[in-house]
Amino acid sequence: MLAYIIRRVFQSVIVLLVVGLVAFAMFRFVGDPIENMLGQERTQEDVERLRSKLGLDQPFVFQYWKFLKAAVQGDFGVSYRQGRPVAEILIERAPSTLELAAVSGTLAMLFGLGLGVYTAIKRNGWVSNLIMTTSLIGVSLPTFLIGILLIYVFSVELGWLPSYGRGETVTVGSWSTGFLTSSGLKALILPSITLGLYQMTLIMRLVRSEMMEVLRTDYVRFARARGLRESAVNFKHALVNTMVPVTTVIGLQLGSIIAFAIITETVFQWPGVGLLFINAVQFVDIPVMAAYLMLISVLFVGINLVVDLLYFIIDPRLRANGVGAH
């Protein structure tokens, strides 16, 4: 088991190094950093001086190493557009995205699991059929249209909820939270539904199909034949086995919520990391893009690793063999 974990950690580090290389290449080759920093009035001497100051005259590998070292210490350079350290901007923006992602992730997971299990157990009920049909449309609806629709209904027509921004926030330490004010909570509702809906649908459909598969297995039939209660059969025997394949996907879905937040944040002008990123792409603000890429990779790789380790907790067969079968 230890060997397996070490191998997975090793693979994760390699992936991160490759992503770091991509980020570094962006830095180094997309646009000329010198040009970006010095502007129009420059002398050859200025250029040379900056080149050696930035270390651009050193060997490639050495530069890459320096870049990685700085990144690990949280130094992602200076935003071309805002002229401030990227790390500072990110720290400022992170809480709003994390709060949004946390709320919609929780919604997606709870409702996705609940509805998935429900529609699997009541396979032919009309409520299940209604849910399944609705979800099919939900999967094909682009997220931004859902956001616009919600804004139209709840902000424009009904005027119940704000259509943009975070509302009032309270700063606790260096964390600005919208959880503590009523306008902050109200502002969270529409964006978190928009962001969570798609993931919820995916989780629900997956849970349903996996659970229906499990409900057909011999051990579920045998559990019934032993006279166990329906609730024990469904929620103990069937659900535990459903969770094995579902865990990975739920983990990855929760990770991609942070990435999909880009769209939702744009629709609702939510002042988070996603909006920062999309503005960076619009204005080719490379340091911000590179930093975002690296952060999101760390997040994804981290989630992948955690999900893999979760298998060991759920599935005793893996603990015995020590090799991932999935």
Partner 1 sequence: MNKIIDAWHSDLAWNFRNSPVAVVSFALVFVLVLAVIFAPVIAPHDPFDPSTLNLINGFSQPMTPNTYTGDVFLLGSDDQGRDVFSTILYGMRISLFVGVFAVAFAMILGITLGLIAGYVGGWTETIIMRIADVQLTFPSILVAMLIFGIVKGVIPVEHRDQMAIWVLILAIGLGEWVQFARVVRGATLVEKNREYVQAARLIGRVRWVIMIRHILPNVLSPVLVIATISLALAIIAEATLSFLGVGAPPTQPSLGTLIRIGQGFLFSGEWWILLFPALTLLTLALSVNMLGDWLRDALNPKLR
Partner 2 sequence: MTEPILSIRNLVVEIKTRHAILKAVDCVSYDIAPGEILGVVGESGAGKSMAGNAVIGLLSKPFSVADGEIWLKGRRIDNLSREKMRRLRGKEIGVVFQDPLTSLNPLIRIGDQLVETIMEHLKLSKKEAERRAISALEEVGIPAAAKRVNSYPHEFSGGMRQRVVIALALCAEPSLIIADEPTTALDVSVQAQIIALLKRLCRERGTAVMLITHDMGVVAETANRVAVMYAGRLAEIGPVRDVLTNPKHPYTDGLMGSTPAAAIGLEKLRQIPGSMPRLARLPKGCAFSPRCNRATDKCVQDPPPDLTAGEGYAACWYSLKTECTG
Q: Which residues bind partner 1 (CB under 8 A)?
A: 15, 18, 26, 29-31, 137, 139-145, 148, 151-152, 156, 163, 252, 255-256, 259-260, 262-263, 266-267, 277-278, 280-282, 284, 286, 289, 293, 296-297, 300, 304
Three-state secondary-structure class, residue 270 = coil
Work out what residue 130 binds among partner 1, partner 2, none; the CB cut-off runs from 5 to 8 Å by kind. Answer: none
d(CA 300, CA 55): 31
Closest by CA position to 299, among listed 272, 259, 269: 259
- Least distance from C-beta 64 to partner 1, angstroms? 17
Question: Angle at CA 107, nearest 5°, toward 100 and 246?
Answer: 115
Closest CB to partner 1 among residues 110, 153? 153
Please compute Rg for the chain using Cα positions: 24
- Least distance from C-beta 139 to partner 1, angstroms? 8
Question: Angle at CA 95, nearest 5°, toward 90 and 97?
Answer: 85
Question: Angle at CA 191, nearest 5°, toward 160 and 262?
Answer: 150
Closest by CA position to 203, among listed 263, 146, 119, 122: 119
- Least distance from C-beta 225 to partner 2, angstroms? 4
Cα 26–chain centre separation: 22
Closest by CA position to 194, among listed 70, 279, 103: 103
Work out what residue 218 binds among partner 2, partner 1, none; the CB cut-off runs from 5 to 8 Å by kind. Answer: partner 2
Work out what residue 82 binds among partner 2, partner 1, none; the CB cut-off runs from 5 to 8 Å by kind. Answer: none
- Least distance from C-beta 125 to partner 2, angstroms? 14
Phi, psi of 109 (to 5 degrees): -70, -50
Three-state secondary-structure class, residue 1 = coil
- Least distance from C-beta 278 to partner 1, angstroms? 5
- Least distance from C-beta 282 to partner 1, angstroms? 6
Work out what residue 230 binds among partner 1, partner 2, none; the CB cut-off runs from 5 to 8 Å by kind. Answer: partner 2
Closest CB to partner 2 among residues 164, 312? 312
Three-state secondary-structure class, residue 56 = coil
Closest CB to partner 1 among residues 33, 116? 33
Closest CB to partner 1 among residues 163, 192? 163
d(CA 296, CA 288): 12
- Least distance from C-beta 190 to partner 2, angstroms? 39
Work out what residue 137 binds among partner 2, partner 1, none; the CB cut-off runs from 5 to 8 Å by kind. Answer: partner 1
Closest CB to partner 2 among residues 69, 229? 229
Closest CB to partner 1 among residues 113, 150? 150
Closest CB to partner 2 among residues 2, 320? 320
- Least distance from C-beta 180 to partner 1, angstroms? 28
Closest CB to partner 2 among residues 8, 224? 224
Where do we find the tokens 């259509």?
163
Q: How far is CA 21 from CA 63, 71, 255, in A?
A: 11, 12, 22
Number of Cβ within a 10 Å radius of residue 34: 15
Q: Binding residues for partner 2, per CB under 8 A?
A: 217-230, 232, 236-237, 240-241, 244, 314-317, 320
Structure tokens at 263: 């769209």
Work out what residue 226 binds among partner 2, partner 1, none; the CB cut-off runs from 5 to 8 Å by kind. Answer: partner 2
For residues 176 and 100, the answer to whether their CB atoms sit within 8 Å is no
